[in-house]
Amino acid sequence: MIEMSGVRLLSYDPVRIVFGAGAIAALRAEADLHKISRLLVLCSPTRAALARKLIVPVADRCLGFCETAGQTMPRDAFDRIVGEIKRVNANGFIVIGGGSPIGLAKAAAATTGIPYIAIVTTYSGSEMAARWYIGTAEDRVDGESVAALPATAIYDPELTLDLPPAVSAASGMNAMAHAVESLYGIDTNPVVQSMAAEAVRLLGSSLPRIVQNPRDLAARTDALYAAWLAGNFRAKVGLEHAIAQRLRQWFNLDHARTHAIATPYAVGFNAAAAPEAMVRICRALGADDAARGLYELNVRLGLPTGLRAFGLKEGDIDKAVEVISAVKITHPRPVSKADLANVIGQAYAGAPPRF
């Protein structure tokens, strides 16, 4: 790790990490490093003004903007991005934003093989996962490839100061989901557990401060660092991610809020089978019960606790059980369809977890 004017440069193969307040100043140097001389910029429509401001140092290399995104990584957005890359003969691109634009960027990079720089403005952690997909339900296409990862990820907490409190809270709880599942995933180890527990601690302390004062740079820095910890060392797909990912794909639910809602119930289901992980979560949150502590954190952050708040219908639960049961869930506790019905039913109603 190199300290440079307060910006930490972390070398992590295969993703280069630039972290700290003011880190965006490294953008041109990173483009030079990866020999990106003809680039496109990918962002969501809501981040278009920010994107135009941030790419000024490399504006002479910019061939255009793709202002497109979507919760479910729509195929038409993917086709538009790949088509533009080929049309202008870009040799790299920059993506600015959170999980949705970065998800599309990963799919585009895996398909075209060209490098990209991710300027991360939320806590989703998508940029550190080699898994990618486009489309929904039966039309979904996915894969896993190192080529999907950014050449450099830039984390500048100053760029998150204007992220609305409710969005920040939900995105932070998405990161929390990565952290807690990594504590009891079948591929966990002591190093991962230490980092995941630190992520839980930092998120548990910083997110309430962000909701109270969104301009708290120290809290934003802690949350962004925690999100990197949680995203970088995430476990294989567990119950929480199986629920959240499938529900948002099949029922068009908000990504981060679905993760936030599902996490306490998945943790409660696994509690008896993963006692050491529960102790770590309790210690990190200062709670007596891991699942209840996460549930109460959602309440404290002003997040909904039940899936019916997003339009999921009680009659959808059977279909939800069917599509989630098709996922290979790696877990300390086996999950039957009856278990899924219980967990999803509780998450639908939104009362405190009971297991």
CATH number for the domain including 60? 3.40.50.1970
Residue 73 belongs to domain spanning: 2-160
The verdict on residue 344 lying in a domain is yes
Same domain, residue pair 138 and 178? no
0.75 surpassed by pTM: yes
Same domain, residue pair 113 and 177? no
Same domain, residue pair 202 and 151? no
CATH number for the domain including 223? 1.20.1090.10
The verdict on residue 355 lying in a domain is no
Counting the structural domains of the chain, the total is 2
Same domain, residue pair 155 and 173? no
Instruction: Characterize 102-138 residue by residue with b for buried, 16 or more Cβ atoms within 10 angstroms of its Cβ, and e for exposed.
Output: bbbbbbbbbbbebbbbbbbbbbbbbbbbebbbbbbee
Same domain, residue pair 248 and 278? yes
pLDDT values of the chain reduced to their tens digit, one per residue, 355 residues: 333 344 544 444 589 999 999 999 999 999 999 999 999 999 988 888 999 999 999 999 999 999 876 555 677 888 888 999 999 999 999 999 988 899 899 999 999 999 999 999 999 998 998 888 776 656 677 778 899 999 999 999 999 999 999 999 999 999 999 999 999 988 888 988 999 999 999 999 999 999 999 999 999 999 999 999 998 877 777 899 999 988 988 898 888 999 999 999 999 999 999 999 999 999 999 999 999 999 999 999 999 999 998 889 999 999 999 999 998 888 889 999 999 999 999 999 999 999 9
Same domain, residue pair 223 and 340? yes
Same domain, residue pair 149 and 170? no
Give the residue from 160, 195, 214 where a domain finishes. Answer: 160
Q: DSSP 3-state assignment of 280?
A: helix
> What kind and span of H or E run contains 2?
strand 2-4
Same domain, residue pair 156 and 106? yes
For residues 77 and 105, the answer to whether their CB atoms sit within 8 Å is: no
Same domain, residue pair 204 and 114? no
Give the residue from 97, 128, 160 where a domain finishes. Answer: 160
The verdict on residue 354 lying in a domain is no
